[in-house]
Amino acid sequence: MSLPMDVEGPAAPPRSNGELVFAEPWESRAFAMAVALCEAGVFTWREFQAALIARIERQHDTSTDWCYYEHWLGALEDVLAGRWAVRGHDVTARARELAQRPAGHDHEQR
């Protein structure tokens, strides 16, 4: 399946020379989760785009601090919660649990 991903406009992911850009590993994971869940039929790409645009527009109205993939992750949470695939407090609890892990916990130490 090929998703109709925007290359311009508020929902367009950051790119450099046409390639997607991720500043942190979690950003690529959040991106991949949304794409995989959409391809699995959990939600449509249009639903996700609408949630992402809504998140971006709300943020632009209230703050100068801005991180595209924080909005991406928030939109994913919104869509999943709206589909009753997960409950919002479950996402929050899991995020807190993961945040408690030490840096490099999932990488082999050499």
pLDDT computed for residue 46 by the predictor = 92
pTM (two decimals): 0.69
What stretches of 1-110 adopt beta strand conformation (E)? 15-16, 19-20
Mean pLDDT of 12-34: 87
pLDDT of 14 > 80? The answer is yes
Three-point CA angle 88, 52, 21, nearest 5°: 110
Relative to beta strand 15-16, strand 19-20 is antiparallel
Distance of CA 31 to the CA centre of its chain: 5
pLDDT of 60 > 80? The answer is no
pLDDT of 65 > 80? The answer is no
pLDDT tens, residue by residue, 69-96: 999 999 998 998 887 766 667 666 766 7
